[in-house]
Amino acid sequence: MAAGGPAAILCHTMSHTRRDFLVSTLATAAALRPGAAADPKPRSLFDGKTLKGWRAAPRLLVPPGKFEDTPPEKLCAEVEKFYADNPAQAHRVKNAGVWAVKDGAIVGGQVPDSQLGAYLISDDTFGDFDLTLETRPDWPIDTGVMVRAHALGSVGFQVLLDHRPDGAIGGVYGNGTGGFRAYPFVVTGDEQGGFKVAKLREGKPDGKFFKPDFAAAIDDFLRAWKPNEWNTLRVRCVGELPVIETWVNGTRIARLDTAKLADRVPGYDPKAVLKRIGRKGHIAFEVHDNGKLGRNRWAPDAVCRWRNITVTEL
């Protein structure tokens, strides 16, 4: 039989089949051996009924220029003492917001008439991860998701959910880590009754900001976002000083490499940031103070809601 005839083809096919079988068998054995890395799987951070796995904390910002040499493990105690020893600020230490579970969602708001913010902080810490959750914020409120957060709550990187006039959604703020504002666009809208909003559109920035490495067009966001409904937010956080990526309802919104901000953020020190927050940190939800924006930052009795919170550790 000539070379390349049916017999040669059959032999070639059998050789490939046997080789594929051996490769598959060896891969399976490697995956099953003790200590082998398994494919990362998502796990829930919220049981839909209780706040188990989370703790409420006051919103205590680190004063500029203070505690720069304080070891991370002592920062909470030192900052709390700083506020407690200041008669005009001592009331903040005991104000941890109002957090509850209603209709299968975490609901966060201000203590009535306090105009003060707070955090809900995960007990667990996370390094590299992919976080997915659903959110339904009232209008107007100023909230967000803290990632790689210090146990204090107010130090880390915040994925913004500023659902208010001239707010940013899906960008990143350096919360106690340089104070930078990196977001693709600013949104505004017309307030309606019942904490709802109509006619979302491009707004005007209320401060200095820059666009992240990837920045979605506002029209892409407006097509993706569902006003006054539940929306899915995805956050991917990877790296020693992380690259943070965000999506809204599957639409990519932003990508920021926080290790490469020294040329864009005056005084930003990547090594100092890493020393303070570490390679792993908490996930936290924010309720903001009213501050100079008054009710446009957080309307009385307004809340934000979070549900179906899952994380995949990478």
For helices 72-84 and 270-277, give the axis angle rounded to 10 degrees.
80
Residues 24 and 103 in one domain: no
Q: Are residues 24 and 91 in the same domain?
A: no
Residue 170 lies in a domain: yes
* Token couple for 89: 């600020």
Residue 17 has pLDDT above 50, yes or no: no
Residues 164 and 71 grouped into a single domain: yes
Alpha helices in 146-269 (DSSP H): 218-224
Q: Say if 7 falls within a structural domain.
A: yes
Amino acid in position 106: I
Is the separation of the CB atoms in 170 and 195 below 8 Å?
no
Q: Are residues 103 and 8 in the same domain?
A: no
Report how far apart, in Å, the C-alpha atoms of 126 and of each of 149, 150, 272 are. Answer: 9, 11, 19
- What sign does the CA torsion over 83, 84, 90, 91 have? positive
- The parent domain of residue 16 ranges over 1-28
Report the percentage of the chain scoring pLDDT > 70: 88
**Residue type at 144?**
G
Residues 171 and 60 in one domain: yes
Closest C-alpha to 227, from 186, 191, 251: 191
Tell me if 36 is assigned to some domain: no
In this structure, the answer to whether residues 119 and 200 fall within a common structural domain is yes
147 and 176 assigned to the same domain: yes
Residue 38 pLDDT: 67
The answer to whether residues 120 and 2 belong to one domain is no
| Single pTM value for the model | 0.87
Question: Which pLDDT score is estimated for 12?
Answer: 38
- 49 and 178 co-located in one domain: yes
- What pLDDT score was predicted for residue 34? 52
Number of structural domains in the chain? 2
Q: How confident is the model at residue 40 (pLDDT cuts 50, 70, 90)?
A: confident
Asked if 54 and 23 sit in the same domain, the reply is: no
- Has residue 2 got a pLDDT over 50? no
Instruction: Decide if 34 is inside a domain.
Output: no
pLDDT band at residue 6 under the 50/70/90 scheme? very low
Distance CA 114, CA 288 (A): 11
Q: Which residues pair with 101 in a beta bridge?
A: 106
Q: Are 252 and 213 in contact (CB under 8 A)?
A: no
CATH, residue 232? 2.60.120.560
